Structure 1
Amino acid sequence: MTTHATPPLLAIPGATPELAAHLQDGLARVDALLREVVDHEDPFIAAASAHLAQAGGKRFRPLLTFLAAELGDGINEDVVRAAAGVELTHLASLYHDDVMDEAEVRRGVPSANAAYDNSTAILVGDLLFGKASELIAALGAEAVLIQAQTFVRLCSGQIRDDRPSPPGVDPVDYYLGVLADKTGALTATACRYGAMFSGNRPEVVETLRAYGEKVGMAFQLADDLIDIASDSDASGKTPGTDLREGVDTLAVLRAKASTDPADARLLELLGSDLADDDDGVAEALTLLRQHPALESARSETYGVAREAQALLEPLPDTPAKAALQTLALSVVERVG
């Protein structure tokens, strides 16, 4: 496994040199631990397990863990182990996600299912979930319980993501609930672990847990916007994946609520099966990029990020708090 450059999100405006150095050191320690954990005596398993970790990534969740820890006594061995466990859980979920999405690209390289096959990707994802649990087990019973509860929420969110909202349930409310489980749960745990294992008071731990969930939702909402608005060169992902899978993201839900006759063609496309229709996906993307629903979804995404910022207001003003508040907006402003 190769060491990659400092994640882009580490360059947080306003972060002090001392804080940046702490984060840099923490991320390097996570990478070293990940290299150790994903290695395997079987070369094929070792290569498949390291496939996505080698491709880099932002290490967004470990960064949250470390910033939360900086509100307490700082980064220590338990915090590093917790951060690595969260990141490994995230990596494992990507293997499964790419199989379900039939994705071909992840982080600018072939996805695991494309590089190997679906069965290998699923089994390696399971293996990495097991490795993550091994890491967390050393942190005590409460950490293990949190890991298990987080995993249940990840799975339930993904299951509900593949199903339409039930009759009588507002589709947007349903969708936001899915995001809270599918993405918010793990970022909440990232912050919670960082706060827990750095000696923060229980009320601060809970504040950071709630903040992490909101930031995770904003992160996923931004990802959904990227799937529509960015090209593959900028994002490292294949645009229109959600459209192909029939997943109604926030911009699509807002567009579907339109009663403007001028949107007839867009609504026709959004109501059709685009799984094998590259031309239809391309046309739908073009129309969505021009539609007010995209800006509406972007505005709502910023709103969730601002809710995360507001949760931190009661905490003492420190460089770590300022960085967390800045980070809440930066996840919305990224392009990949």
Structure 2
Amino acid sequence: MSLDETSHKPHDRLAAFLAEDMAAVNTLIRDRMASEHAPRIPEVTAHLVEAGGKRLRPMLTLAAARLCGYAGAHHVRLAATVEFIHTATLLHDDVVDESRQRRGRPTANLLWDNKSSVLVGDYLFARSFQLMVETGSLRVLDILANASATIAEGEVLQLTAAQDLRTDEGIYLQVVRGKTAALFSAATEAGGVIAAAPEDQVRALHVYGDALGIAFQIVDDLLDYGGSSAVIGKNTGDDFRERKLTLPVIKAVADASEAEMAFWRRTIEKGHQGDGDLAEALAIMARHGAMERTRDDALAWADKAKAALAVLPPHDLRDMLSDLADYVVSRVN
């Protein structure tokens, strides 16, 4: 399953409930990604923005604001801001990772070049800050600016930790908070702030987004060793081939025998991989129950996300957000 399969999925129920708001967000995105002087900017941006992504992050902002009773228009600006930040990070990530495919299509850096991807990503970051300022909320600006810094910090941390077998679960969590959870939590928290929700509700929305983002990323990392390209948008085993130390491998390394450590040093630290090494990696992880324990972690984070919603007012949107947390981890059930 993917997060965009059929109409009874929580994501699709959210989209239906927020359809009018999302139409306004999409209009604003198209308007603000335009450039009078550099036509390559909308070309590159449109390639990614219109590639079939389901706008989960901006919907979280809209849902949080509506759940807290917001009736203004600034939540649309914040939702577009979140989507621009997300799109900018994807453009940069594909350059850093030398990726060739994103959402089943060739990446922008492959179709154009690395310079275009980096510079258009920079443009979208600048646009996102313009939109933040238009809300007139210094606190919202603080939340989203901090998230942007955390995202960049997480990406740099991942560069140094990715092939280092000393990377433990604490460092992994820092990376995940940077690359995924920071924007989830900022999206939900900013929605509560713009709605002037009580502090306990704003905090709950932050905790929900953080835990949902961590669960989401753990599941993606787990699916890399047991999913299909149709499910995860990349080939099974890509993380192993790219020598990324994700949670299933970290758990297996922590319990590894001398022979297993020699295998991980050769394949992950040194990058000497051959036929059969992916199968051997899977066998080692199976011996140590690494996949099952990783799945348990994802379920625990999803439970934390759902528990955080308890202080929020009863609402159909609250139920949808709870169901979304369940659905994120149902992909590995």
Normalised-by-shorter TM-score class: 0.7 to 0.9
Amino acid at match of 1:331: V
Which of 16, 22, 27 lines up with 1:27 in the alignment? Answer: 22
1:114 is matched with which residue? 110
RMSD: 2.9
Amino acid at match of 1:133: F
2:200 is matched with which residue? 203
Q: Distance in 1 between matches of 2:168 and 2:295?
A: 17
Describe how 1:271-290 pairs up with structure 2 within 5 A: 271-274=268-271, 277=273, 279=275, 282-283=278-279, 286-287=282-283, 290=286
Q: Distance in 2 between matches of 1:170 and 1:323?
A: 35
Partner SS for 1:229: coil
Which of 148, 173, 176 lines up with 2:173 in the alignment? Answer: 176
Describe how 1:157-168 pairs up with structure 2 within 5 A: 157-164=154-161
Q: Distance in 1 between matches of 2:33 and 2:23?
A: 16
Single out whichever of 118-127 and 230-239 deviates more from structure 2: 230-239
1:105–1:238 contact (8 Å) kept in structure 2? no
Single out whichever of 290-299 and 118-127 deviates more from structure 2: 290-299
Partner SS for 1:306: helix
Single out whichever of 54-63 and 243-252 deviates more from structure 2: 243-252
Partner SS for 1:199: coil
- Percent identity, please: 35
- Indicate how the Cα distance of structure 1 residues 203 and 264 shifts in structure 2: closer, same or farther if over 3 A, else same: closer
- Indicate how the Cα distance of structure 1 residues 205 and 20 shifts in structure 2: closer, same or farther if over 3 A, else same: same
1:44 is matched with which residue? 40
Q: Distance in 2 between matches of 1:155 and 1:137?
A: 21
Gapped regions of structure 2 (runs ≥ 5): none
- Indicate how the Cα distance of structure 1 residues 75 and 106 shifts in structure 2: closer, same or farther if over 3 A, else same: farther
2:79 is matched with which residue? 83
| Number of aligned residues | 325
Which of 47, 56, 76 lines up with 1:60 in the alignment? Answer: 56
CA-CA distance at 1:125 after TM superposition: 0.9
CA-CA distance at 1:271 after TM superposition: 3.9
CA-CA distance at 1:269 after TM superposition: 5.3
1:234 is matched with which residue? 231
Q: Distance in 2 between matches of 1:288 and 1:60?
A: 35
Q: Distance in 1 between matches of 2:268 and 2:7?
A: 40
Single out whichever of 213-222 and 281-290 deviates more from structure 2: 281-290
Partner SS for 1:297: helix
Which of 305, 311, 315 lines up with 2:312 in the alignment? Answer: 315
Amino acid at match of 1:305: A
- List structure 1 segments (4+ residues) > 6 angstroms apart after TM superposition: none
Gapped regions of structure 1 (runs ≥ 5): 1-5
CA-CA distance at 1:301 after TM superposition: 0.9
Q: Distance in 2 between matches of 1:8 and 1:197?
A: 31
- Indicate how the Cα distance of structure 1 residues 252 and 286 shifts in structure 2: closer, same or farther if over 3 A, else same: closer
2:151 is matched with which residue? 154
Which of 80, 95, 101 lines up with 1:99 in the alignment? Answer: 95
Which of 185, 188, 197 lines up with 1:188 in the alignment? Answer: 185
Q: Distance in 2 between matches of 1:163 and 1:214?
A: 24
2:109–2:117 contact (8 Å) kept in structure 1? yes
1:10–1:63 contact (8 Å) kept in structure 2? no
CA-CA distance at 1:85 after TM superposition: 0.3
CA-CA distance at 1:75 after TM superposition: 5.7
Amino acid at match of 1:77: A
Which of 302, 305, 320 lines up with 1:305 in the alignment? Answer: 302
Q: Distance in 2 between matches of 1:21 and 1:45?
A: 30
1:215 is matched with which residue? 212
Q: Distance in 2 between matches of 1:191 and 1:95?
A: 23
- Indicate how the Cα distance of structure 1 residues 160 and 236 shifts in structure 2: closer, same or farther if over 3 A, else same: same
1:127 is aligned to 2:123: yes
Residue deviations 1:13-33, cap 9 Å, x none?
Answer: 599x8x764312222222221
